[in-house]
Amino acid sequence: MTTDPSCLFCKIVAGELPSTLVHEDERTVAFRDLHPAAPTHVLVVPRDHHADLAAVSAADPGLVADLVAAAVEVARKEGLDGGHRLVVNTGADGGQTVFHVHLHVLGGGPITGLAG
């Protein structure tokens, strides 16, 4: 288990900070975004700390597949039958502000700008 004690999302995964959980499995956790950009806005994160998509792809490519599968399951559970958008902001120029890789699952109505 890789964690960073100063990381916001590691603290959420550990239950040290509050969140509204939507889904969890062995390797991933999904919780509602604090500042939703759509009626449904859920973040899917790995339990292990990886800074961004490049880092997780290099270290554990199977985990990338697990994150995508969890996002699809979140969309199903949230009833996003009409479709949804997955966003992964990567790096500062990509709009990433929390450096623990996460997938934004957006849907259920208008998406107000890009997440991030």
CB contact at 8 A, 73 and 52: no
- Residue from 41, 49, 50, 102 carrying the catalytic annotation: 102
Interface pick for Zn ion out of 41, 49, 84, 102 (rule CB under 5 A): 49
Q: What does DSSP assign to residue 108? A: S
In whole angstroms, give the CA distance from residue 40 to residue 102.
Answer: 16
Among ligand AMP, Zn ion, none, residue 49 binds (CB under 5-8 Å by kind)? Zn ion
Q: What is the largest CA-CA distance in the chain?
A: 38
Establish whether 35 is a catalytic residue. no
Piece of the chain touching Zn ion by CB under 5 A; list 1-9, 17-25, 86-94, 103-111: 1-9
Does position 111 interact with Zn ion (CB under 5 A)? The reply is: no
